[in-house]
Amino acid sequence: MRGRPLSWRDGGRYEGDATWIGPHLGANGGVSVRDGVTAMRADVNGALIFMRGSVYTTHDPGGAVTLVETGDPGVRIYRENRQVAVSDRDGEALLTGLNPYAPNHIAVESRDCSFDALIEKTDALVVPRKNSGTTVSFAPKSHHPFLAIVTRGIPIQTPLGATVTLDGEAGPFIVGHDGQVFIADLKRQTGADIDLGTSRCRIYIRPEYGKGALPHTDPLLCLRETSVAY
């Protein structure tokens, strides 16, 4: 902020002015007193941008703007590998001065996102029209990834590649090494059927979200449901 303090001029006139430059807008104002009459002025310079029901302020929008959605607050945002913004409490940031009709490389710092966020992409190319606004989303698709560990009892292992179908879910999951089943978004307790090829067995998963970076179960005993021998 800079300004000129109230000063005296010939004829009993007093004047003062000040200028404030913020991160998104600038303002200046002044006051004049002459013969007991006070006059004031104020100006604001910058731009207001309306996108997706929100209002954003900026000094100069430049050729084009884009609204970056990160899904989490405090996520660093890069343009052409240079940090240009940090997402606000709503998980958003407005980038200005994009090059119209040309690729603009936008990326986010995945380490700033919640540890349980499943992020499908961390960068994108944005090609906006001149004087336009676009949106690019890096918001996680899930905040409930979970690792279920399935066992059939020592020393019998759950077959690698066996399919797991959660109750009420359309697509199956696959048993990986050491009986591990990664579930991208598990919000509730649920049962699951495991197809072993010659037989089926069943487990019940109770999410426990306090166990380390990737929440997981203790080994779950898969109980046989058919009369076919193991």
56-98: pLDDT as tens digits: 767 677 888 999 999 889 999 999 999 999 999 889 999 988 9
Residue 131 has what pLDDT? 86
Positive or negative torsion for Cα 118, 123, 129, 133: positive
Sheet order of strands, 146-151 included: 180-183, 146-151, 220-221
Q: What is the mean pLDDT of the chain?
A: 79
Determine if residue 197 is left, alpha or beta; phi over 0 gives left, psi from -120 to 50 gives alpha, anything else beta.
left
Once rounded to an integer, what is the mean pLDDT over residues 103-121?
84
Q: What is the pLDDT of residue 84?
A: 93
- Provide the token pair at 165: 């179908």
